[in-house]
């Protein structure tokens, strides 16, 4: 199973170094790190055998899409997504990939609700918001999730079906809602979570939480598009 990882590195270089050092590299054909220009990301990525891509435009979803554009010419069988700020435990990669070794599963969600997050790593306000969002997904689309966490793996062909386009934190909900609408076979596995030491702490900030929460709700309730956008080309990415 050819597997690639896309790691949005929206924090700093020290956090990314710790993530790449703990990552079980033997499970991955390619590691793609997407970060801001001038953040020291390229040197760090290369030091650990990863491909570095600079993305000046903000947004978690934008970083993921940029990574997908890079992989598209020679796509893997499976793509793993997780944050580069150290909040996801990279050592849990084998557990996230394990369900995909057997047929019948195309999408694996890492659930902090089912796992054992560090104190303060998955704040109660965020947990409540994700509980509401996942109950809406169950009510509207009949798919049961318990988290909107960033640690996830999906087969490339299933990913292409989803037509993802959200440039920021609606990306996570958009993937799950699109998977539910497309009836993509999905499972959850427990994962842990760590408190961020620096970088993007948006989830812990009340105004940021409500802004992200509103975006998630709009994503869940948005009518289904009649056409899939697929993966944007490099020229479309530059002009987007």
pLDDT digits (tens, 9 = 90+) for 133-169: 899 999 999 999 999 999 999 999 999 999 999 998 8
Determine which of 20-29, 49-58, 224-233 has the lowest per-residue pLDDT on average: 224-233
Q: With a cut of 60, say whether residue 236 has pLDDT above it.
A: no
Determine the pLDDT at residue 230.
Answer: 56
Instruction: Give me the CATH number covering residue 24.
Output: 3.90.550.10
- Which residues are bridge partners to 35 per DSSP? 9, 54
- Which residues are bridge partners to 4 per DSSP? 30, 79
**DSSP assignment, residue 216?**
H
Instruction: With respect to residue 228, please indicate whether it lies within any of the assigned structural domains.
Output: no
The total number of residues shown for the chain amounts to 240
Report the SS3 class of residue 23. coil
Burial zone of 66 (CB within 10 Å; 0-12 exposed, 13-18 middle, 19+ buried) = buried
Question: Any idea which residue has 């640690």 for tokens?
Answer: 151
pLDDT digits (tens, 9 = 90+) for 15-39: 888 899 999 988 899 999 998 887 6
Instruction: With respect to residue 230, please indicate whether it lies within any of the assigned structural domains.
Output: no
* Residue scoring higher pLDDT (230 or 83): 83
Determine which of 78-87, 174-183, 216-225 has the lowest per-residue pLDDT on average: 216-225
Q: Which domain holds residue 56?
A: 3-223
Instruction: With respect to residue 238, please indicate whether it lies within any of the assigned structural domains.
Output: no
Provide φ and ψ at 72, rounded to 5°: -55, -40
Instruction: With respect to residue 148, please indicate whether it lies within any of the assigned structural domains.
Output: yes
How many structural domains does the chain have? Answer: 1
Q: Is there a contact between 177 and 219 (Cβ–Cβ < 8 Å)? A: yes
pLDDT tier at 202 (50, 70, 90 boundaries)? very low
Instruction: With respect to residue 194, please indicate whether it lies within any of the assigned structural domains.
Output: yes
Instruction: With respect to residue 229, please indicate whether it lies within any of the assigned structural domains.
Output: no
* Residue scoring higher pLDDT (7 or 199): 7
d(CA 19, CA 127): 24
pLDDT tier at 121 (50, 70, 90 boundaries)? confident
Instruction: With respect to residue 237, please indicate whether it lies within any of the assigned structural domains.
Output: no
The pair of structure tokens assigned to 129 is 């918001």
Report the SS3 class of residue 172. helix
Determine the pLDDT at residue 38.
Answer: 74
Instruction: With respect to residue 231, please indicate whether it lies within any of the assigned structural domains.
Output: no
């Amino acid at each position: 199973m050819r597997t690639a990882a896309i790691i949005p590195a929206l924090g700093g270089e020290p956090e990314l170094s710790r993530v790449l050092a703990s990552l079980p590299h033997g499970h991955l054909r390619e590691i793609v790190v997407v970060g801001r220009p001038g953040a020291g990301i390229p040197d760090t990525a290369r030091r650990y055998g990863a491909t570095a891509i600079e993305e000046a435009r903000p947004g978690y979803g934008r970083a993921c899409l940029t990574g997908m554009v890079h992989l598209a010419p020679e796509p893997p069988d499976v793509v793993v997504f997780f944050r580069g700020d150290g909040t996801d435990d990279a050592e849990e990669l084998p557990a996230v990939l394990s369900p995909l070794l057997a047929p019948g599963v195309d999408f694996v969600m890492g659930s902090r609700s089912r796992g054992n997050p560090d104190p303060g790593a998955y704040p109660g306000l965020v947990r409540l918001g994700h509980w509401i969002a996942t109950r809406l997904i169950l009510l509207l689309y009949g798919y049961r999730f318990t988290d909107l966490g960033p640690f996830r793996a999906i087969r490339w062909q299933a990913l292409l079906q989803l037509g993802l386009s959200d440039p920021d934190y609606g990306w996570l909900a958009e993937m799950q809602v699109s998977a539910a609408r497309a009836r993509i076979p999905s499972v959850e596995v427990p994962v842990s979570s760590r408190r961020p030491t620096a970088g993007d702490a948006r989830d812990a900030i009340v105004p940021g939480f409500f802004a992200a929460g509103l975006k998630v709700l709009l994503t869940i309730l948005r009518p289904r598009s009649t056409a899939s956008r697929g993966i944007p080309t490099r020229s479309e990415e530059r002009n987007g």
